[in-house]
Amino acid sequence: MSPQVIERVIQVIAKTQHIPPESVTIDKTFEDLKIDSLDGMNILFAVESEFDISIPDDRAPSIRSVREMVEGIEALLAAKATAPSASRNP
Amino acid sequence: MTRRVAVTGIGVIAAPGRTRPEFWDALVRGESAIRPMRLVPEGSLRFSNAAEVSSYRPQDFFEGKDADMLDRFAQFAVVAAREAVADAGVKITPELSARVGIVTGTSTGGQTSEDDQFRALYADGRSRIHPLTIARTMANAGSSAIAREWGIKGPSYTISTACSSANHAIGHAFWMVRSGAVEMAIAGGAEAPFSLGFLKAWEAMRIVAPDTCRPFSKDRKGLILGEGAAMLVLEPLAHARARGARVWGEIAGFGMSSDAHHLTQPLAEGAAMAMRSALRDAGDAPLEAVGYINAHGTGTLANDATETVAIREVFGAHAAKLMVSSTKSMHGHALGAAGALEAAATLMALHEAVLPPTANYSEADPACDLDVIPNVARHGMEVEWALSNSFAFGGLNAVLAFRRP
């Protein structure tokens, strides 16, 4: 996991939840951080903006910890990097 | 079961004041809170004045993410409800919570949140909408937030009838308390209409005054939009007396009617029918005992003249003795909150024996030949009964009858 991605995710969660960034660490679950389902949607929305990605609806419910979020984002960033750019299409 | 219903708590946040005492003091001074608009870019509209809650900061009232959850209008609803509940001196215990009702009014709900997000989608090229937009925009956001604030589990709902919303809401809450359906109710209205999109729609109707709101004055040029909220705590008069609560006044009657006429043009017959219905609902209150009417008094050419005709129709010769004022001249037309701000003003007027004036009044209009309390409040006026009128676009009328404690 990239330390930069971890740090950006921590900042997004802290800002969205109005909690200190120090309280958010890679090992915390959403339950630890008192993030409920509505908070989770807000965080996904903020993360999509932060990384310019789109998190599919079927992936969202399985993200229940900071680690799962970082891993999910990295997978989406990797897929984005290898996907053919629309501009190359005729 | 029919019980007398007391108002024991009043909370207000509006342009003239962020609390009930501030609001009332400004009204007694005859001080209009209509100022140049700050919530939309200067020069973007043909009108430039409004009655805004100036320098409102959510963080002064809500912690952390609580402020993110609520649109400005719903925040106003909660702020006013907090003051009302504290003012009533009631403790909403778990036992009581299932027997408390909440009815709020709003015309346009959380449309500033919607405007903001739709602009991002249509104009800024964003492809996504914030996930809280539905929850922030829903008209019942105010009543739901009030329920969560105190864990209130009784009936909670919202009425949206444009400019009559708050009167309809208070009237229904009154009926629930009177009938015994609930033991206590929190009722009122909340509005925050200042988004560019919504104001452009008002501009297109050509009924917003370029200067200020001068109800019943010959040189009136239209309404001035306002915002804010007022909430009342209602409970049976006998309970209020038993617990030694201060009673601001009684709500004694509620009347409704529909013009079934024109989308925007008022009809005197419909307004008169609602006033008569409120008096009948109050146990056929004697016309001569009504001393004050807080008018709908928007400051449009059509409303004020039509309302004058309606009042004359209902009260006949007694109309000459009635004192009538439009406090919209000071707090603006807060649409779905208007009736609630005016209920607060009417209750204070009865309790304090001071009748608030129609501010900004400059010239008599033969079409509005009532005693409209021009510019200066009347002190020492012990009025027994008062009405508060609300007449909405769509021809929906709602009138509350109040009685001195």
The ranges assigned to domains in chain A are 3-77
Q: Do A41 and B68 touch (CB under 8 A)?
A: no
Q: Is the pLDDT of residue B172 over 50?
A: yes
Q: Which of B356-381 are b and which e, b meaning 16 or more Cβ less than 10 Å from the residue's Cβ?
A: bbbbbbeeebeebebbbbbbebbeeb
Q: How far is CA A70 from CA A21, A42, A52, A83, B151, in A?
A: 15, 16, 14, 20, 37
**Distance from C-alpha of B228 to C-alpha of B336, rounded to nearest angstrom:** 9
Instruction: State pLDDT tens for residues B69-88.
Output: 999 999 999 999 999 999 99
Of A18, A42, A48, the CB nearest to B64: A18
**Sorting pLDDT into bands at 50, 70 and 90, what band is A89?**
very low
Tally Cβ neighbours within 10 Å of residue A4.
8
pLDDT at position B190 is 98
Are B5-242 and B253-403 the same fold in CATH? yes
The reported pLDDT for the residue numbered A85 is 59
Contacts of B122 (CB under 8 A, 6+ apart): none
Phi-psi region of B402 (alpha: psi -120 to 50; beta: other; left: phi over 0): beta
Closest by CA position to B78, among listed B254, B220, B228: B228
- Fold of the CATH domain B5-242: Peroxisomal Thiolase; Chain A, domain 1 (3.40.47)
Residue B2 pLDDT greater than 80, yes or no = yes
Q: What's the CA gap between B40 and B394, in Å, rounded? A: 27
pLDDT in tens, B338-374: 999 999 999 999 999 999 999 999 999 999 999 999 9
| Mean pLDDT (whole number) for B389-393 | 97
In the three-class reduction of DSSP (H, G, I as helix; E, B as strand; rest coil), residue B98 is classed as: coil
Distance from CA of B81 to the nearest CA of A (A): 25
**Domain-wise residue ranges, chain B:** 5-242, 253-403
pLDDT class of A87 with cuts at 50, 70, 90: very low
Q: Which residue has the tokens 């007027």?
A: B349
A26-69: per-residue pLDDT in tens?
999 999 999 998 999 999 999 999 999 999 988 888 899 999 99
For residue B175, the one-letter residue type is W
Q: At residue A86, does pLDDT exceed 80?
A: no
A60 touches B at CB < 8 Å: no
Per-residue pLDDT, B402: 98
Residue type, B264: T
Give me Rg for the CA atoms of chain B.
20
Does any CB of chain B come closer than 8 Å to the CB of residue A18?
Answer: yes
Which of these CATH numbers, 1.10.260.30, 2.60.120.1440, 1.10.1200.10, 2.60.40.10, describes A3-77? Answer: 1.10.1200.10
pLDDT of B42 reads 85
Percent of chain B with pLDDT over 70: 100
Closest approach of B131 to chain A, Cα-based (Å): 6
How far is the CA of B374 from the CAs of A9, B232, B328, B357, in angstroms? 61, 28, 13, 6
Q: Per the structure block, which two tokens stand in for B321? A: 């003795």
pLDDT band at B1 (very low <50, low <70, confident <90, very high): low
- CB within 8 A of B260, min separation 6: which ones? B270, B395
Q: Is the pLDDT score of B3 beyond 60? A: yes
Q: Which residues of B are catalytic?
A: 163, 296, 333
pTM of the entire predicted model: 0.95
B65 to A44: CB separation less than 8 angstroms, yes or no: no
* A39 min Cα distance to partner chain B (Å): 9
| Closest CB to B65 among A18, A44, A45 | A18
Q: What is the ipTM of this complex?
A: 0.81
Q: Which residues of B touch A14 (CB under 8 A)?
A: none
CB contact A16 to B (< 8 Å)? yes
The answer as to CATH 3.40.50.1100 being correct for domain B253-403 is no
**Residue B111, φ and ψ in degrees, nearest 5:** -70, -20
Tell me the pLDDT band of B143, cut-offs 50, 70 and 90: very high
**More confident site: B1 or B112:** B112
Mean of per-residue pLDDT scores for chain B: 97
Per-residue model confidence as pLDDT tens digits over B34-72: 999 999 988 899 999 999 999 899 999 999 889 999 999
B209: number of Cβ within 10 Å: 21
Q: Does A38 touch chain B (CB under 8 A)?
A: yes
> What is the structure's pLDDT at A84?
67
Confidence grade of residue A88 (pLDDT, cut at 50, 70, 90): very low
Contact A38 B130 (CB under 8 A): no
- The chain A residue lying nearest B129, using CA atoms, is A45
How much is the mean pLDDT over chain A? 90
Min Cα–Cα distance to chain B from A13, Å: 12
Distance of CA B18 to the CA centre of its chain: 15
pLDDT, residue A61, reads 85
